[in-house]
Structure 1
Amino acid sequence: MTTPAAADPTPTTGRRAVGGMRALTLATAFAAASGYLVMLVAGRTLGPSDYPLFATYWGAFFALGGVANGLMQETTRAVRSARVGPAAVLPAPGTGGRVRLLPAGLMLGLVLACVVAVSAPAWPRLGLPAFSGVGVAVMAVGILGFSLQAATAGALSGTERWGLYAVLLTVDAALRLGVAGVAWWAGDAGLGFAFATVAGTVTWAVMIALSPATREALTRAVDVGRRRFWRNTASAMLASAGTAALVVGFPVFVTATVRESDPAPLVGAVILAITLTRAPLLVPLTSFQSAIIVYFVQRRELGPRALAGPLGLVTAVGLVGAGAAWL
C-alpha cells in the first residue's frame, strides 16, 4: 500500500545535506579525539597493571554495542527506503504491522541487558572481577540506552538529519569524556571509568527532550512490516557481531586467555597500543556507516556501479595511509 510522500526536508543533494555532512565530519573528529583522551586518561589514572581491567570492560560494552548497531543499520535503510521515490511505502497487510522505532530499540535493549545480567557469573573468568555487581548493572543499563540510541541514530540518518546526528555523536563523546575527567580528578580506581564508558548512552533522551525534529524522525514509517524488519535487523546484527567481537571486543579475549606468568603491565601496554592505533580507522567507519547506507539505498538502480565512488575514495585514503605508515 502506498500514500503520497511529502517532500523530504533534507534531500541528499541539498545545501543542508552538505552542511550536515560537514558537521558530521567535525563530530567524528571530536569523537575520535575524545576517545583518545579517555584511553589516555584511563591509562594514566589506572596504570599499566589495572588498565587491562578497564579495557576489557570497555571492549565488552562496545562489542555488545556493535551488535546493537545492526538495529541502527536496518532502521536507516528502512526509513530511507520508505522515502525514496515518488511515494512513501508502507508495509502490506499480514506483515506483522507497523514498526515503531523507539519501542523497537527498547525491546532490543532489554534483551541485551538480560544477556549482560545472565553472563555476570562468568565475568571473573573473563578478567572482570572488580566490575562484578555494580559494574554489571551499569553495563546492563548502558546497553539498554545504547540500543535506544541506535534506533534514534537510525531515524535521524534515514531522514538525513545529518546535523542532528552530528549533535548526537558530539554529546555522546562529550559526556563520556566529561565523566572520565571526573573519575581522573577523583582518583577513581575503576567504577568511575565504568560509568564513563556508558555515560554517552543517555544522549538519545536528551535529543528527544530538546529536539522536535528528533521526535518527528522517530515516528517515520519504514518500508517493511515488523516480521521482515526484525529478520533484517537480526541479519545485520549477526554480520556486525563478528566484527565487533574481533575488533572492539579483543581485550576480552586477551584478558580471558592471559596466563598468570604474563606480566600485567605488558598486557595493559599492548592493549592500549592496539586500541589507540585502531581508533583512526574505526571511528570514521562507524560514524559514517549510516551515510553509506543512505548513499546505496538512493542508488539501488545503479547496481554494482554504485560502488565505484566509495571504492575509489577508500582506495585513495588507503594509499595515503599506507604511505604515511611506511614513512
Structure 2
Amino acid sequence: MASISGNNAALKQREIQRDTDSKDRHTRAEAGDAMQAGARVYPVPPFPEQHLAKPGKETDVEPAPLYDAPYYAGSKKLAGKVALITGGDSGIGRSVAVLFAREGANVAISYLSEHSDAAATKAAVEAEGQRCILLPGDVGKREKCREIVRETVKQLGHLDVLVNNAAFQIHAADIGDISEEQFAMTLETNLHGYFFMAQAAIPHMAPGSAIVNTGSVTGIEGSGGLLDYSMTKGGIHAFTKALAAQLMGRGIRVNAVAPGPVWSPLNPADKQAEDVATFGAETPMKRPAQPEEIAPAYVFLSSSHCSSYITGEILPIVGGY
C-alpha cells in the first residue's frame, strides 16, 4: 500500500512538473516579445539599417516615427497659452507641438535647418486649429535665442511655456576620440542653448508659466559611448533643479523629462546603420519609445491644471529600467 501511495505521489509530482515546464516555456516565449501597452502597436527591432546625415530629417527615418497620437483627446489643458519648443521640427519636439496644439496652445517652433520637417510640423499644428510659426537658427548662440523669443512674443502675443528640447549627440568609443570641436558643439547645443533660451524667455513669463527641459536616461545612468552627451544631460538635470529653486518666488515651474531610447532622427543621425537596426532592444520593453509615447508628459508638466505642485523634478520615461 505504501508503495502504491508513493507511486501516486511521484506521478502527481511529475504532472505538476509538466504543468510548470509548460508555463515556463510560455513565459520565456512571452519575455522574448517587445512589450505593447499602448493604444496601437508600435514598431519593434530589428529596424532597417540606416545612417542619416546630421542633423537628420524625420522624412528619411524608416519606419516613420509616430507622433500624432490619434487616440489622445485634448481637453483645453493649455487653452490660450503660447509655447516655444526648440528642436520642434521632428521627434519628441514635433509630437509635443501637436499635442500642445490639441490642448489649445499656439506654438513657435525653433529648429536648426530642417525646413521640410519644420513645415510638416507646422501643417500638423495648424490641422489642430492653432497657429504655428517657424524660427530657424542655432540655439547655441545667445543672440539667436533672444531673437527667437522676441519673434515668438511679437507674433503670438506672449509666452507661457518654454520647452528646451534641441540636442546634439554623437558617439565616441574613447574619451581621446572626442575632438574639441565635437565637445564644444555638444555643450553649446545642449547646455548653452537651454541656458540662453531660458534667460531670454523668463522676463516674458508670468506666474503660472512653465519650463520643461528634455533630459535623458544618460544623464541619470551615464553612457560610456556618449560621454559628452551624458555630461550635458546630467547638467540639464542639475540646471532644472537649480532654476526651479530660483524661480519659485516668481511662480514659474521648471521640470525635466528624461527619456530612454526614442525613435527619432537623433539616433539614426549618430549611430552606425547596424546599431540603428537594434536600437531600443536592450530596454526591458525590448523596443524604443515612439515620440507620441513621450509627449503627454510634456503636456502634464506644462499645464497648471495637472502639475501645479510639481517643480524641480526629473521624470524618467525609460521603458522599464
TM-score, shorter chain, exceeding 0.5: no
Please state which structure has a larger fraction of its residues in strand.
2
Greater relative CO, 1 or 2 (CA 8 Å, sep 6+): 1
Q: Which structure is larger by alpha-carbon Rg, 1 or 2? A: 2
Q: Tell me the TM-score normalized by structure 2.
A: 0.30
Q: Normalising by the residue count of structure 1, what TM-score does the alignment of the two structures yield?
A: 0.29
